[in-house]
Amino acid sequence: MFIGNVEIKGYAALAPMAGVADRAFRELCRDFGAAYVVTEMVSAKGVSYNSSKSTELMEVSDRERPAGVQIFGCEPETMAEAAVTAMQFKPEIIDINMGCPAPKVSGNGCGSALMKNPKLCGEIVKAVSNAVNVPVTVKIRKGWDDNSVNAVEVAKICEENGAKAVAVHGRTRSQQYQGKADWNIIREVKQAVSIPVIGNGDILTAEDAQRMYEETGCDLVMIGRGSYGNPFIFREIAARMEGSEYQPPSLEEKMRIMLEHIRLITGLSEKCEELAMHEARKHAAWYMNGYYGSAKFRGRCYQLSSYAEAEALAEEFIELQRSRGIN
Ligand SMILES: Cc1cc2nc3c(=O)[nH]c(=O)nc-3n(C[C@H](O)[C@H](O)[C@H](O)COP(=O)(O)O)c2cc1C
């Protein structure tokens, strides 16, 4: 599959997730076969104010390519300028956020609020597409609320104005992350546009991924929360789609990858180890989900303040599972 001239190999992309899909996690997910990855959303306004935090979020490493930088904002010019700034990190794709429900984003007319103004969506896509020489994609929701389901209209306008792919999260803004994602809307968008459609929402297993392909006809699926503590999901989806045998990760592999993940986080962070560990804590807890005594260990993950402590905790966790005959 191609997004513009960028070849996308693999079966599932990693969704942009602020506070979760940072460079460390994106690199890891690519290692496990994510088709492409997208940065956490970056404020175009922040970029225009020269916020170093905003530009840092745009950094893309070679290990994660192909990668998109996602920007949010509601002024075509500011968005175009932010896209130009992003190009210093040579992303393969620029992605436009039209789905964020957070009040601090949508309350300012950005993110999902853009869907209330399809004409403006088109203007933003056009301005950004004209400003950069890489494909521009958009990520939309089903609509603003149940009374304004307009993903098809917005996707078409984006396509007409130069978008090279559209990712559709099958929930309205009002739903936030609650309820079930509506995959029918993904199928409807797929039938209405010629650019690739990336289906998103509620894929937690490889089986879900395959079902989304079958039920919606989408060109690629995108995984958000299903990747929490589970970068292995990309490997699992590839095996299922290719009909090859899948060997789930052993507990030891999970802990090894958890520790590698933590090393990536602390290694890439500008912060001291103790502060960087704050970023790592939730990830560590997710890797330990679903085992004997997980709740207690997850609590302990939230106290971790060094890599050495994480290593010791992983060993203790493995010992406990072994004592219960779990590998
Ligand atoms: C913690 C978190 C952060 C998110 N941040 C972003 C973001 O920065 N940009 C974006 O377009 N979507 C963001 N999303 C939405 C996801 O990309 C995705 O559309 C949503 O989680 C549904 O997919 P899922 O059911 O596979 O999780 C975020 C979701 C979560 C849970």
| Size of the chain in residues | 327
How many angstroms separate the alpha carbon of residue 168 from the centre of ligand 1?
11
Asked if residue 218 and residue 314 are part of one domain, the reply reads no
Nearest atom in ligand 1 to the alpha carbon of residue 97 is: 11
pLDDT of residue 327: 83
206 lies in the same domain as 284: no
Domain count along the chain? 2
Residue 74 near residue 108, CB atoms below 8 Å: yes
Residues 151, 172 share a domain: yes
Lookup: tokens for 38: 């997208």
CB 236 within 8 A of CB 206: yes
**Is the domain of 221 the same as that of 103?**
yes
- Do 297 and 238 share a structural domain? no
Say if residue 136 is in the same domain as residue 177.
yes
* d(C-alpha 251, C-alpha 235), whole Å: 16
What pLDDT is recorded for position 205?
A: 97
CB under 6 Å to ligand 1: residues? 15-20, 40-41, 70, 97, 99-100, 139, 169, 177, 200-203, 223-226
Catalytic residue set:
100
Q: Specify whether the CB–CB gap between 219 and 248 falls below 8 A.
A: no
Among 194, 215, 242, identify where a domain stops. Answer: 242
Mean pLDDT (whole number) for 305-318: 98
Rounded to the nearest angstrom, the gap between the alpha carbon of residue 104 and the centroid of all alpha carbons in its chain is 20
Cα of 183 vs its chain's centroid, Å: 18
Mutate-to-test residue for ligand 1 from 17, 20, 95, 141, highest number of ligand atoms within 8 A of CB = 17
- Residue whose CA lies nearest to ligand 1 atom number 18: 224
Q: Domain residues for 18?
A: 2-242
Sequence letter at residue 212: M
- Among the candidates 222, 242, 262, a domain finishes at 242
Q: 181 and 136 in one domain?
A: yes
| CATH assignment of the domain containing 281 | 1.10.1200
Give the model confidence (pLDDT) of 232-284 as tens digits.
999 999 999 999 999 999 999 999 999 999 999 999 999 999 999 999 999 99
Q: pLDDT tens digits, residue range 104-123? A: 999 999 999 999 999 999 99
Same domain, 303 and 260: yes
Q: Is 199 exposed, middle or buried (0-12, 13-18, 19+ CB in 10 A)?
A: buried
Write down which residue in 186, 221, 242 finishes a domain. 242
pTM: 0.98
Q: How far apart are the first and last CA of the chain?
A: 38
261 and 182: one domain?
no
pLDDT digit string, tens, across residues 180-237: 999 999 999 999 999 999 999 999 999 999 999 999 999 999 999 999 999 999 999 9
Specify whether 152 is located in the same domain as 258.
no
Count other Cβ atoms within 10 Å, centred on residue 78: 18
- Compute the distance from residue 188 Cα to the ligand 1 centre, in Å: 21
Regarding whether 180 and 37 lie in a shared domain, the answer is yes
Tens digits of per-residue pLDDT, 73-96?
A: 999 999 999 999 999 999 999 999
Please tell me the predicted confidence (pLDDT) of residue 171: 98
Q: Between the CA atoms of 44, 141, 155 and 162, what dihedral angle is there, to the nearest 10 degrees?
A: 20
* DSSP symbol at 221: E
Q: For position 74, which CATH number holds?
A: 3.20.20.70
146-183 pLDDT per residue, tens: 999 999 999 999 999 999 999 999 999 999 999 999 99
What Rg do the C-alpha atoms of the chain give, in angstroms?
Answer: 20
Distance (Å, whole) CA 259 – CA 151: 40
